[in-house]
Amino acid sequence: MENTMKLVAAALLAGASTLAFTATVQANADGEAVYNQACMACHMTGAAGAPIRGDADAWAPRVEKGIDTLYTHAIEGFNAMPPKGGQMGLSDEEVKAAVDFMVEPVM
C-alpha cells in the first residue's frame, strides 16, 4: 500500500509539473521562451545530432529544405527528435516560434 501511495504521489507531481510547464510556455508564447523551456536541452548541446542554435554549418542543409519543412519536422518529429520536442502541450504556433528563434542567427 505504501508503494502504491508513493507511485500515485509521484504521478501527481509529474502531472502537476507538466501543467505548470505548459501554462508557463503558453503565457510566454515567444520563440525564445519556448526554446529555453522545451528545446534548449538538445539544441544547446547537440544531443542526438540536434543542430545547435547559431551553428550555420549544421543548419544549412536543414534551412535549404525551407522553413515549412522545418516547421513540419519540429511539429511531427523527425529522426531522433520526437514531435514537438516531446512537449505535446505546445501549440503548433509555439513550436514554429521556437524554430524561428533557432534559425534566426543563421538566416
Residue numbers of the chain with a pLDDT score lower than 70: 1-29
* Spatial distance between the Cα atoms of 23 and 5, rounded to a whole number of angstroms: 27
Model-level pTM? 0.72
Residue tagged 502537476 (cell numbers): 16
> From CA 30, how far away is CA 50, in angstroms rounded?
21
Q: How many helices (H) and strands (E) would you count in the chain?
A: 6, 0
Domains delineated in the chain: 2-106 (1.10.760.10)
Instruction: Find where cell 519543412 sits.
Output: 69
